[in-house]
Amino acid sequence: MKHHKNKLDNLRKFVDGEADTKYEKFMLFVIIVNIVSLGIDTSRNISPNLKNVLFWIDQVCLFIFVLELILKIIAYNKEFLGKYELDDEGSETFHINQWNISDFLIVAVSIFSSLSCFAVFRAFRIFRSIKD
């Protein structure tokens, strides 16, 4: 059981959001690629071929974001949304993990918006860049 806990601790450290890790730099790169592709996709003057390329870039980015979310859910388990901690007075209070909740909401909206009838919601994915 201890070996399993060590693996989860390592996974949590991996997806924890430390800005100087290769993982976080890769995720920031994916976010930037996604923002640029979303921005280009709003242009009226792009060719159907480029529109198709942008669609697939968007789908790959979404897949990576979903994979990241799954890794975070596995790593944080019951503490994904937050956890109980002792405050300065010794009282136990629930601290919400705002980053995980925002990631979940943005990915959920992204999945929802990938349906053609809800494409207007794609703009909400830009909020992911604010986090990082």
- Rounded mean pLDDT, 108-112: 81
pTM of the shown model: 0.75
The predicted-structure confidence for 20-55, as pLDDT tens digits, reads as follows 788 888 988 999 999 899 889 888 899 999 999 998
3-class SS string, the chain = CHHHHHHHHHHHHHHCCCCCCHHHHHHHHHHHHHHHHHHHHCCCCCCHHHHHHHHHHHHHHHHHHHHHHHHHHHHHHHHCCEEEEECCCCCEEEEECHHHHHHHHHHHHHHHHCCHHHHHHHHHHHHHHHHC
